Amino acid sequence: MQADVKTLEAKSAGKVDLSDAIFGLEPRRDLLHRMVLYQLAKRQAGTQKVQNRNEVSGTTAKMFRQKGTGRARAGNGKAPQFRGGGKAFGPRPRSHAFALPKKVRALALRHALSAKVKSEELIILDSAAVTQGRTKDLQASLEKLGLNNALIIDGKEVDKNFAMASRNIIGIDVLPVQGINVYDILRRHQLVLTKAALEELEARFA
């Protein structure tokens, strides 16, 4: 499978071969769904907490006598059924993450890349580097390429000027190839890979 390579000026820079094992799969929605759930669950803070009756401050004295009042027997006022009492079975700090096999995660990434190819939302750039970190100039270049909601993946390191110029553009995310993930690929309309990122991905899945 071949794909056109473009420059930041939207000019042609030849063609490049795409591996069918990475970009030629039939996307599986169930696999992508599992991976997105895995990522979202893993990044939840899990810091929610309420006080139980052991942690509520207050007296432990019996509220009223056991018999003769016509009311249900009760101990102290820190019980959950009373106003100001502790919460029964409330949330505690915990991790929301769950396990997903490494092979499944790797396969989900390949399916996400293949999904972008199938929907014709993958663009290959010759390089993502600019001489000056000017947002206005980069935005004009991205508009020429038709990019208004895109994830741009560079090689091992993102060009410093490119990163500075892109950080104020709404709808544009820039990551090194180590940070590529299914959720960010799917949440943006277009996926942009540089030739350096493409080489790293092919070496990763070789």
Separation between Cα atoms, residue 31 and residue 112, nearest integer Å: 9
Do residues 85 and 104 share a domain?
A: no
Do 128 and 159 have their domain in common?
Answer: yes
Question: Domain check: are 35 and 72 in the same one?
Answer: no
Task: Kindly tell me the burial class for residue 128, based on how many C-beta atoms sit within 10 Å of its own C-beta (0-12, 13-18, 19 or more).
Answer: buried
- Write out the H or E segment, with its range, that includes residue 49: none
Q: Domain count of the chain? A: 2
- Considering the domain architecture, whether residues 104 and 131 belong to the same structural domain is answered as yes
Global confidence as pTM: 0.84
Burial of 170 (0-12, 13-18, 19+ CB in 10 A): exposed
The predicted pLDDT at position 18 comes to 92
**pLDDT (0 to 100) of residue 2:** 87
* pLDDT tens across the length of the chain (206 residues): 888 999 998 888 899 999 999 999 999 999 999 999 999 999 999 999 999 999 999 999 999 999 999 999 999 999 999 999 999 999 999 999 999 999 999 999 999 999 999 999 999 999 899 888 899 999 999 999 999 999 999 999 999 999 999 999 999 999 999 999 999 999 999 999 999 999 999 999 98
- Is the Cα torsion angle 99, 100, 106, 109 positive or negative in sign? negative
Domain termination site, one of 25, 60, 90: 90
Asked whether residue 108 falls in the same domain as residue 176, the answer is: yes
Residue ranges making up the domain that contains 60: 50-90
Are 41 and 61 within one domain? no
- Note whether 122 and 180 are same-domain residues: yes
How many whole angstroms separate alpha carbon 87 and alpha carbon 63?
Answer: 18
Place of tokens 């106003």: 83
